[in-house]
Structures are given as structure tokens and as C-alpha cells.
Amino acid sequence: MSKRYRVFVTVVSLAFLTASLALAKANDAERDRANKAASVLTEIMQAPDKGIPDELMANAKAVAVIPHVVKGAFGLGGRYGKGLVSHRLPNGRWSPPSFMEIGGGSFGLQLGVEATDLVLVFTNEEGFKGLLKGKVKLGADANVAAGPVGRTAEVGTDVLLKSAVFAYSRSKGLFAGVSLDGSVVTTDDDANKDVYGKAVTGEDVLLNGAVATNDVVRPFVDALGRYSPSRPPRTSTQD
């Protein structure tokens, strides 16, 4: 084996090792994000007297969880956070999640709080279709409202028609509906590529079946399955 060839093999091997380590590090970060999102949803839904109404979760078309959204104090700064969103498929099960980000101006009810967990419940396709294209501005592209609180709270048709998206926040033990007008939700294509091993859009992941649920994102999908279980497809009947 010539010296030049040995150098070539060494360089290629080091490049492959570097790429593998970078991918493993990226997957560790996304695995942590998925685990935290699953924990946030579990803790909120297990609260005995608070939490998102079961009826609202049963009617959810999509659910996004963004742990540890960081914002500036006293309404002066913006906010930024990373999470996951999953879409309910026609068979009632939850799709592999797309990684996503949220950013925008400061919001009410959490004035002065530096970090909070957010949950977005999409109740119709109007609020969700913008995200399928990569970006949706809450309050402009989709109506958003502070969600009703209470696991057993009744959610009538009038409530479901009020908004395409219901938003919740949790910080320092306080759980409440929250206004998110002006927030921009976008898909995180880099994270999706790291986790699913190929370049895919949010629409590919959430609607087109281009990827499968894997061990990185499974905790989040399992949590959704527990608190918003699959429902049989609706069928029309004639008298």
C-alpha cells in the first residue's frame, strides 16, 4: 500500500468518523427535545384538577409541545423555543412528529417569566395547513386563543369554532391558557433531516408518510397516544 493511498484512507476515515460523531450529537439533542416534550405533555395531562380538557384532546387534529421557551423579561424581549408537532392521521393514530420552532414577541399572562412550556392544540385543518407548508403566523394565518383549562371541562361546538388553535403555557407551577398572537411557528428542517436521515419537509413528515416513527421521537408519539388515543375514522350514514 502506497503512502499516498494510506493518507487518502486515513483522511476519508477521519471525515466519516467526524460526520458520524456530529450526527450522533445532533440526534442526542433531538432525542432530548422529544423526551422533554413527552414529559411536559405527561405532567400537564396528569394534573388532577388542571390540564387540557380530555374532550379537546380527543378532537385535536394536531398537537405541538415546545418545552422551555425562553423570553425576555417584562415584555421587552422576544421568545424562542424548539419542540415537536404531530398530526392525527385518517386512521386516528398520530403521525411521526416534525420538529418545529416558535418565535415572536412577548406574550401575556407570563409577564417577567424567563422560560415557560407551551402546548398548542390544533382543532381544525385551517390552523394546521400553514405549518404543512413550513410556516404559520398565529393570529394572522390561523386564529389562536387561550385554551380552556380543566381535564373534565366541557368543550362545546361553540368553543371549538372559536379558534383554529388553542394555546397553553406552564411556568413555575402555573398552568393557564395563553395568548400567542403574532408568534411564528416554523418547521425545523435541519432537525428533521438529522433524525429521519434524509431531507424532508413538514408536509412529508406529517401528511405524506415519508418517514416512520423511530426511537428518537417515539416517547412523544407514545405520550400523545396515551392522552389523545386513536379514534376510528368518522363514517357518514344515511337515513
DSSP string, 149-171: --TT----HHHHHH-SEEEEEEE
In a domain, 218, yes or no: yes
In a domain, 179, yes or no: yes
Whether 117 and 68 have beta carbons less than 8 Å apart is answered as yes
Question: Which of 62-76, 112-126, 198-212, 214-228 is predicted with the least confidence, judged by mean pLDDT?
Answer: 62-76
The tally of domains found in the chain comes to: 1
Condensed to tens digits (0 to 9), the pLDDT of residues 16-57 reads 444 344 344 557 899 999 999 999 999 999 887 778 988 889
Query: 52 in helix, strand or coil?
Result: coil
Q: Give residue 142's pLDDT.
A: 79
Mean per-residue pLDDT for 156-167? 69
Whether 178 and 109 have beta carbons less than 8 Å apart is answered as yes
Condensed to tens digits (0 to 9), the pLDDT of residues 109-160 reads 444 556 789 999 998 877 788 788 888 888 777 788 888 887 666 666 555 5
The mean pLDDT value of the chain amounts to 79
In a domain, 145, yes or no: yes
In a domain, 210, yes or no: yes
